[in-house]
Amino acid sequence: MADATTLQVEGMSCGHCIRAVTNAITALDQAAKVEVDLAAKRVVAQTKLPRADVVRAVEEEGFAVKG
């Protein structure tokens, strides 16, 4: 079973942001389930990927991961 990785992400504001983050993570793990909450600035990814890989994927899309 995949572990949950929760990130606080700055700069997400629209549907395009949701797709960009989701696609970046699922490009590395096709089985990942990604939930994005724009209001809470939170991304929860159910994935087998290490946290560092998830953070890098999100940051490569131009978003800042906090904490």
Question: Residue 60's domain is classified under what CATH number?
Answer: 3.30.70.100
Q: How does the average pLDDT of the chain come out, rounded?
A: 96
Whether 6 has a pLDDT exceeding 60, the answer reads yes
Would you tell me how many other CB atoms lie within 10 Å of the CB of residue 66?
Answer: 9
- Domains identified in the chain, total number: 1
Whether 65 has a pLDDT exceeding 80, the answer reads yes
Domain that holds residue 39: 3-66
Whether 2 has a pLDDT exceeding 70, the answer reads yes
Whether 1 has a pLDDT exceeding 60, the answer reads no
At residue 63, the pLDDT reads: 98
